[in-house]
Amino acid sequence: MQIYKTSFSFRNREFPIGNGKALQFIYGSRQFKTKGGLAAGTATTNVYSDKKFKTTMRAMQTSCCSPDEVIFSTNCEESLYCHLLCGLIFRDQVQVVSSTFAHGIVHAFRTFEGKWEDLVNDVRRGELCSWIKTPSLRTAMSKLLNPNPGLANIIYNKCMGLSNWYGVIQELFPNTKYIYGIMTGSMEPYLKKLRHYAGDLPLLSADYGASEGWIGANVNPELPPELAKFAVLPNIGYFEFIPLKEDLIVEPQPIELTEVNIGEEYEIIVTNFAGLYRYRLGDVVKVKGFHNSTPELQFICRRNLLLTVNIDKNTEKDLQLAVKAAANLLEEEKLEVVDFTSGIDSSTEPAHYVIYWEISGEASEELLKECCNCLDKSFLDPGYVSSRKVKTIGALELRILKKGTFHKILDHFVELGAAVSQFKTPRCVGTKNQTLLQILRHNVVKNYFSSAF
């Protein structure tokens, strides 16, 4: 709550809001007791169920539009529908549209595209549509719903007037001041779609932290998400930094918060009040400057290598850049990459990279072949390029997935107890994750091999 309030005070200076509500796409997940009797659950569930969460949100003039039954429903599809409906009911009061990670907002408005007519009908009739079965949701929503044909007509006309849903958030919630959520790191690929839905509304990137401990606040909310940096809050933990330099064979000793240098990259080590001692978070950050004397960090990527067959090393960031370059080609046919992941296929000799894409419509064969070549060419790591040239890594393969595959992947993780609020699409699927590989395999509709080398 302290970090929420800290960054809110910086945000509110640049983007002041009045008294109102927030349309927050937040979801609690299953909480349970360990054998030893300790309460266990995901971090965000713990936050949302804490009494202080509500008072803090009220103090920040952004109480959630949705009742607790919607936040804590175990059926996330029904819950999302009700979040959207609550947003529409309180349309004039909504000042902020947010979720923990940007994926949550994009996912919500992709769903809105398919369900908007049902939502308009519910507003018109003052009754929740029949496919929502959870009794607690039905009871909670019935307290908010009243027949409102006037509002239904407004929403209907707004939706009909939009071109390809551009600016839908701004149109539906006219008093929104900004869109808020974590937009950096693995969320960057969703920015383009988010900007499309947002219209002219500013996107404000939220703070930097993890279930294991919080790290920094965004004290420069006016910066676009691509440039967001986070001021380390030195009183919430004890932070050390492992310098990351390519040419070192032995890993250097960690250095202290005050010893970091601008422009250099580090892996963070956290020691905190929750009891973690010198815990390696696995994130790579770059020091961009200082806020007074605390460093401001830019999130770079997860440290684990993603794709490697032999001497090649490609990180999440490299994959993101390659996908971005190839996805630009899809614009020719007004298509976009809905989501993506990757893996290594070692069943061929030599092994090769596989990129999985779900795209928004049907692309031509020619274009997809071009995208496949572009992906292969866009991995610039010298180890990869040289191995491709001498064919010790096979031709990159692009596999196109059925529409809705990433939705199935989200459902799969939720079934395992993950929280939708904290969901991040895995960007690389290893052979250990057979269930996920199976979902991917069963949903491939076409594949292409690169002829770039």
Q: Across the strands, what pairs with 339?
A: 358
What is the distance between the alpha carbons of residues 312 and 390, in angstroms, rounded to a whole number?
13
What is the distance between the alpha carbons of residues 357 and 334, in angstroms, rounded to a whole number?
16
Stretch that binds ligand AMP, among 45-53, 165-173, 208-216, 253-261 (CB under 6 A): 208-216
Residues 211-270 touching ligand AMP, rule: CB under 6 A, are 211
Contacts of 276-284 with C-beta under 8 Å, sequence gap 24+, read 276/212, 276/213, 278/240, 279/212, 279/213, 280/242, 281/210, 281/212, 281/213, 281/215, 283/210, 284/244, 284/315
By the rule CB under 6 A, 283 interacts with ligand AMP: yes
Residue selected from 20, 181, 185, 221 as contacting ligand AMP according to rule CB under 6 A: 185
CB nearer to ligand AMP: give 179 or 281. 281
CB nearer to ligand AMP: give 111 or 422. 422
CA distances from 97 to 49, 62, 83, 112, 220 (A): 20, 10, 11, 14, 19
Nearest distance in Å: CB 273, ligand AMP: 17
Neighbours of 438 (CB within 10 A): 11
By the rule CB under 6 A, 316 interacts with ligand AMP: no
Residues 406-425 touching ligand AMP, rule: CB under 6 A, are 422
CB nearer to ligand AMP: give 230 or 448. 230
x/- map, 28-67, ligand AMP, by CB under 6 A: ---------------x------------------------
- Contact 336/294 with Cβ under 8 angstroms? no
Residue selected from 48, 208, 340, 357 as contacting ligand AMP according to rule CB under 6 A: 208
Sequence-ordered alpha helix ranges (H) in 173-225: 191-198
Residue selected from 3, 232, 233, 281 as contacting ligand AMP according to rule CB under 6 A: 281
Nearest distance in Å: CB 100, ligand AMP: 8
Which residue has tokens 């040419």?
A: 247
- Contact 205/183 with Cβ under 8 angstroms? yes
CB nearer to ligand AMP: give 107 or 388. 107
What is the distance between the alpha carbons of residues 216 and 6, in angstroms, rounded to a whole number?
10
Where does this chain bind ligand AMP (CB under 6 A)?
43, 182, 184-185, 208-211, 281, 283, 299, 302, 422
